[in-house]
A and B are shown apart, each in its own frame.
Chain A
Amino acid sequence: MYDYLLHIAVLCGIYVVLSISLNLAVGFTGLFNIGHAAFYGIGAYTSALLTLAGVPWWIALIASAIMAGLFGFMVGVPCLRLRGDYLAIATLGFGEIIRAVMKNWTGLTRGPLGLPGIPKPSLFGVQFASIDMYLLLVVVVAIITVVIVNRLVKSPFGRVLKSIREDEIAAKSLGKNVVKYKLQALTLSAMFAGVAGSLYAHYITFIDPSTFTLMETVLMLCMVVLGGAGSIIGSVVGAIILVILPEPLRFISLPSSAAAALRQMIYSVSLILMMIFRPQGIFGETSTTKKFDLRKLLGMKKPKIKLRTKKNA
């Protein structure tokens, strides 16, 4: 039971990284990417193949981020000139292509047989083989992701991303190189998905193409939407809720076919309820200027920046 809870926690951590990275593209920049599972898969396969070839784990981790980022960049160059729905269709196509490659390039990926025996990571002699050690690793990576993405979005850079989401033409008129920013956003988003892929591969120690399907992207999108597009804490909470929500099903004795269908139903019902009662998501920015403020919740004072302008100097 204890291991089972830890297992859930590890999955939560991996999905936190995934949903935050997807939120960077979808929620903050307004790039409707539904091929995110492909970047996840590219990261997983890169890391698995490299470590199976004897490369140290930490190099494989970095390589999976770079590889996924590279693919993000390559998809972005032609696709980011498209808007809204068209970008969604293009990334959908990209996701399916990557899955088809994973399935059919048997020389590299062993196709549907998958890659077994992926080694557990170790760093400076520390083995992350036991589940509690692995949880520690995942939590550290998730926290690093939260910190970096939080810094990205709460900065002049993030402000430009949001402005592109709000009105691309206006952003151009203010001298922003919109295509460059979109490319950077998609590349960074893909890199974190690649890291999540690597975490997944070394945790499960077996990967095959059936993990990185469109349904996986839809699940990540649900997490983003449930938590609130454009909210970091929302993505964290959304990921945790949607990982835990279907778990009680395991304890009801159901035929496995019904359990899988019920899982999907839980996702869809939760999403429908969300759309009706709180379309902006749990922590989404509401129409007023009130935003979720952790400091206020904990009774801490917000640091005030003092500004001197000519008038009140």
Chain B
Amino acid sequence: MLKVTDLHKEFGGIKAVHDCDFHVKKGEIVGLIGPNGAGKTTVFNLVTGFIRPDRGTVIFDGADVTSLKPHIIARMGMSRTFQMIRLFPNMTVLENMLLAMKNQDEGFKAAIFRNPLMRKKVKQGLVRAIEMLEFVDLHAKKNELAKNLSYGQQKLLEIARALVNDPELLLLDEPAAGVNLTMLKKIKGLINKLKDQGKTILLVEHNMEFVMEMCDTVVVLDHGEEIAIGTPKQIQKNKKVLEAYLGGTEGCE
């Protein structure tokens, strides 16, 4: 599904990401972890096209998407969320959802002439958006402005927005960060539901319990370098990983 080979990116001499190789199989949930500043979000941005890599390739669904524009990659079926939530704050929850919808006539000619086909698509979009909002339990808030939602609800809305087109691959940047326990449960439940539906997910997360519970494979980055890859159990025992997180293993026994 997603194959990242030999990815490199430098920011003015600082190696943000180097020698990064991993792949995500269909139906798998892969976790990307590492201490702060390890380059996890940079990997996300490289994969989704927001940053161009200096070297390396990103293959998505058999197509080389390296250095393609982000909106083109998004249209190929890769959806993402952001670490700092990026909703459209002064637009309603419903509008936020509708914006993610593909197959809407978003040209200016359609806007002026409004043919029946365009109207039909608008209606279909509305139905699908409301279904999705019901799926994440936000439909009661559909006419609320996005900025008036609670933090957890905003996270949920962002995930719902990323999901509305049935993406091939979903990238979640810290879905569990800063949310309370109830919301965490909700988000976990949502990811489990997606897993049952056979969705493929790549996620960045600091909450280890969450990662170990949800992920099939874990990739560990440290200082931009990939130091380990394996199942959660293997990672927990990996010496290099413990070193990266705890600054050495001596005295830990």
User: Which chain B residues in 76-90 approach chain A with CB under 8 Å?
Assistant: 79-80, 82, 86-90
In contact, A155 and B110 (Cβ under 8 angstroms): yes
Q: Is the pair A160, B50 in contact by a Cβ cutoff of 8 Å?
A: no
Contact across chains for B92 and A155 when beta carbons are under 8 A apart:
no
Tell me, rounded to whole Å, the shortest Cβ–Cβ distance linking A304 to chain B: 12
Q: Which residues of B contact A175 (CB under 8 A)?
A: 71-72, 74-75, 102
Let me know if B98 and A307 touch, CB within 8 A.
Answer: no
Please state if B90 and A285 are interface contacts (CB–CB under 8 Å).
Answer: yes
Docked Cα-Cα span, A170 to B82, in Å, equals 8
Q: Is the CB of A305 within 8 A of B70?
A: no
Decide: B112 and A152 in contact? CB cutoff 8 A.
yes
Within the complex, the shortest CB–CB distance from B152 to chain A, in Å, comes to 18
- Verify B107–A157 contact, CB threshold 8 A: yes
User: What DSSP secondary structure best describes chain A's contact surface?
Assistant: helix
What is the CA–CA distance of A285 and B91 in the complex, to the nearest angstrom?
10
Contact with A along B84-119 (1 / 0, CB 8 A): 001111111001001110101111101110100010
Beta-carbon contacts under 8 Å, B143-190 to A: 143-145, 148, 161
Residues 173-193 of chain A: 1 if any B CB is under 8 Å from the residue's CB, otherwise 0?
A: 111111000001000100000
Answer whether A173 and B111 are a contact pair too, CB < 8 Å, given A163-B99, A309-B131.
no
Q: Which of A271-313 contact B (CB under 8 A)?
A: 285, 287-289, 305, 307-311
Q: Contact residue range for chain A? A: 35 or more
Residue in A closest to B145 when the chains form the complex, CB atoms: A289
Q: Is A85 an interface residue (CB 8 A)?
A: no
Determine the distance from Cα of A61 to Cα of B125 in the docked complex, in whole angstroms. 38
Instruction: Tell yes or no: B220 within 8 A of A by CB.
Output: no
- Residue A202 interfacial (CB < 8 Å): no
What's the minimum C-beta distance from A313 to chain B, rounded to whole angstroms? 10
B130 near A307: Cβ-Cβ < 8 Å: yes
Residue A156, interface by CB 8 Å: yes
- Taking the complex as formed, is A171 at the interface, i.e. its CB lies under 8 A from any CB of chain B? yes
**Does A97 lie at the interface of the complex (its beta carbon under 8 Å from any beta carbon of B)?**
no
User: Which among B92, B99, B105, B145 is the interface contact of A174 at CB below 8 angstroms?
Assistant: B99
On chain A, the residues within 8 Å of B105 by CB distance are: 156
Q: Within 8 Å of chain A (Cβ to Cβ): is B126?
A: yes
* Cβ–Cβ contact A305 & B88, under 8 A: no
Which residues of chain B are within 8 angstroms of A167 by Cβ–Cβ distance? 86-89
Chain A residue numbers with a CB within 8 Å of B72 are 175
A81 within 8 A of B: no
Closest B residue to A164 by CB, please name it.
B88
Interchain CA distance A170-B88 in the complex, whole Å: 8
CA A309 – CA B132 in complex, angstroms? 10
- Is A157 a contact of B88 with CB atoms below 8 Å? no
Once the chains bind, are A148 and B91 in contact (CB under 8 Å)? no
Interface residues of A in 151-172 (CB under 8 A from B): 151-152, 155-160, 162-163, 166-167, 169-172
- Please state if A309 and B86 are interface contacts (CB–CB under 8 Å): no
Cβ of A171 and Cβ of B99 under 8 Å apart?
Answer: yes
Taken together as a complex, chains A and B put the C-alpha atoms of A167 and B99 apart, in Å, by 12
Give the Cβ gap from A143 to chain B, nearest Cβ, in Å.
Answer: 15
User: What separation, in Å, do the CA atoms of A307 and B94 have in the docked complex?
Assistant: 13
Expressed in whole angstroms, the Cα–Cα distance for A285 and B95 within the complex equals 15
Q: Would A305 and B126 count as touching, CB distance under 8 A?
A: yes
| Inter-chain contact A173/B70, CB cutoff 8 Å | yes
* Closest chain A CB from B88 CB (angstroms): 4
Rounded to whole angstroms, the CA-CA distance of A182 and B114 in the bound complex is 21
Chain A residue nearest to B164 in the complex (CB): A174
Given contacts A174-B100, A305-B123, contact A310 B108 (CB under 8 A): no
Q: B97 → chain A, closest Cβ, in Å?
A: 10
Q: Is B122 an interface residue (CB 8 A)?
A: yes
Q: Decide if B71 touches A287 in the complex (CB within 8 Å).
A: no
Docked CA distance A111–B30 (Å): 68
B104 and A156 contacting across the interface, CB-CB below 8 Å: yes
Inter-chain contacts of A169 with B (CB < 8 A)? 50, 82, 86
B71 near A162 (CB under 8 angstroms)?
no
Interface residues of A in 187-240 (CB under 8 A from B): 188
Cβ–Cβ contact B107 & A289, under 8 A: no
B48 surroundings in chain A (CB, below 8 A): 173
6 sampled A-B residue pairs with Cβ under 8 A: A156-B122, A163-B88, A169-B50, A170-B87, A184-B108, A289-B143
* Partner-A contacts on B (CB < 8 A): 48, 50, 69-72, 74-75, 79-80, 82, 86-92, 95, 98-100, 102, 104-108, 110-112, 114, 118, 122-123, 125-127, 130-131, 134, 143-145, 148, 161
Since A152-B108, A177-B71 are in contact, a sample of 20 more A-B pairs with Cβ atoms closer than 8 Å, ordered by chain A residue number, is: A148-B112, A152-B111, A156-B122, A157-B108, A157-B110, A157-B111, A158-B111, A162-B95, A163-B91, A163-B99, A166-B89, A167-B87, A167-B88, A173-B48, A174-B161, A175-B75, A288-B145, A289-B143, A305-B126, A309-B127
Q: Using a CB–CB distance below 8 Å, which chain A residues touch chain B?
A: 148, 151-152, 155-160, 162-163, 166-167, 169-178, 184, 188, 285, 287-289, 305, 307-311
